[in-house]
Amino acid sequence: MRHAEGGLRERKKRETRAALAEAALRLALDKGPDNVTVEEIAEAADVSVRTFFNYFPHKEHAILGRNPEHLERALDRMRTAPATESPLTTMWFVVDDVLRDLEREGELSRRGELIMSSPSLVYQLMMSSFEDERLLTAGLAERMGEPAGSVRAALIVSAAGAACRVAMELHKSAPDRSVRDLVAEGFHVLAAGLDPGFAPTVPDETKTNHTMPEEQEGPS
């Protein structure tokens, strides 16, 4: 009986969060994100303002559709990833899981377009991503058997986030392509290497000041 009650309570919480996020998105699309209030979002979702703040710290998080379950699932996916799976592949499954969630709810394109058209939402997206990326980097580094401060793990996580932001921006000028397809293309570009021909060179007289670290000569 307790298990059933707990399951019902969790389902109700998920439904309330989804209702608030949907109301926030709808109002932001209708009025503009800067003109929406927490009170309006709560009223549209048929909950109190106090209940709103149980789920979101401010209206921007509701408009962004921030869901802590996504991060929990991502970290769990990292812990259970097959040993033969590459780190970038693991990140693809993590990202695609969230994208499929939003796609099923019919919000992915609408939310992405709204975010990229609003400097305040882009800023909030970037700020809220920092902590997520820190936790994902630690999780991916552990999965790779590297220290928590692994540069490679941090770059993979950050590049995955960049692929999503680029896809949302490009979707505005290419609405016939889904955000998910654009993200997939971004991951393929990352996997192939952004620029395999990268080989910076500088004049000999300034070489010691401008070469890549591994090209610099050690002390004599």
105 has pLDDT over 80: no
Q: Which residue has the tokens 């408009």?
A: 63
187 has pLDDT over 90: yes
Q: Highest-confidence range of 106-115, 146-155, 170-179, 206-215, by mean pLDDT?
A: 146-155
**In which band, very low, low, confident or very high, does the pLDDT at 176 lie, cut at 50, 70 and 90?**
confident
151 has pLDDT over 60: yes
Q: Which residues contact 152 (CB under 8 A, 6 or more apart)?
A: 87, 144, 146
Read off φ and ψ for residue 203, nearest 5 degrees: -55, 145
Averaged pLDDT of the chain: 85
202 has pLDDT over 80: no
Whole-angstrom distance, CA of residue 124 vs CA of residue 128: 6
Tokens of 21: 């996020």
Query: What's the pLDDT at 125?
Result: 83
Query: What's the pLDDT at 102?
Result: 75
The pTM (predicted TM-score) of the whole model is 0.73
Contact at 8 Å (CB) between 55 and 20?
yes
Q: Which residues contact 71 (CB under 8 A, 6 or more apart)?
A: 132, 135, 136
